[in-house]
Amino acid sequence: MSAPIRSVRTAHPQRSAIRLRLKPAHRICGSVQGAWWPRSDQLHIQLPLLLAALSPRIGTVNRVVYDETLWAPAPLRIEFEGRIILLEPCDTTATYTLLVIGEEFGRLDLLVVPPYTNPTRAYTAVMKASNPDNVSTPDELLGIGPQQAQDRRLAQLAHQRWESEGGARRQGQQSGNSAAVAHIQELSRAR
């Protein structure tokens, strides 16, 4: 069974100006080649606007790899200008980035400034990321310190471990500790 495909019209991209800035094509260096500040966490709505803005520079896009921790659940494919574009969630290697991939141009790495970011901080991150001489990491561009980055990595590892070990047990399933957990919950409610 295939995943549903979202078809989005881009007839009126001017209704919502895209917040995107790229390094000059001849000056590609650093971790990212520019930055994008989407207006919401709905990738299937925001992505067609980005692709429409990028098309004149990069041509046809085949695949997009995105940081799934930044976005609401998205389909595995979308239709854009009559073509199917594959969307690949990634939760470890592409933190705060979006990788746009195509046969003609290869790969374009963009910093994704979370939609809820303070406008002044977002503007600063976008401008720094698009500076031709900037080689900062996405964490540095967003002002994320080493401790916050480490906390995020540890949280992702804990989540992966949780999921690999079965996550939350379904109702009716009991593990060896479930009786103790139920007893503790009963005591908490009694207080």
Q: Which of the two residues, 162 and 171, has the higher pLDDT score?
A: 162
Say what the pLDDT of residue 187 is.
52
Say what the pLDDT of residue 113 is.
96
Q: Compute φ and ψ for 142, nearest 5 degrees.
A: -90, 0
How far is 186 from 178, CA to CA, in rounded Å?
12
Q: Where are the alpha helices (DSSP H) in the chain?
A: 43-58, 119-129, 138-141, 146-164, 178-190
For 162, the token pair is 């949780």
Q: Which of the two residues, 75 and 177, has the higher pLDDT score?
A: 75
Say what the pLDDT of residue 35 is.
97
Element (H, E) at 71: none
Q: What are the tens digits of pLDDT across the range 138-170?
A: 989 998 876 666 666 666 667 666 767 777 654
pLDDT tier, 44 (very low <50, low <70, confident <90, very high otherwise): very high
Task: With a cut of 60, say whether residue 5 has pLDDT above it.
Answer: no
Name the DSSP letter for residue 4. P
Q: Which residues pair with 109 in a beta bridge?
A: 99
Q: Compute φ and ψ for 107, nearest 5 degrees.
A: -140, 140
Round the average pLDDT of the chain to a whole number and report it.
Answer: 79
Q: What are the tens digits of pLDDT across the range 68-100?
A: 888 999 999 999 999 999 999 986 666 899 999
Of residues 55, 144, 72, the one with CA closest to residue 108: 55
Say what the pLDDT of residue 172 is.
46
Say what the pLDDT of residue 104 is.
84
pLDDT tier, 10 (very low <50, low <70, confident <90, very high otherwise): very low
Of residues 89, 98, 5, the one with CA closest to residue 51: 98
How far is 43 from 33, CA to CA, in rounded Å?
20
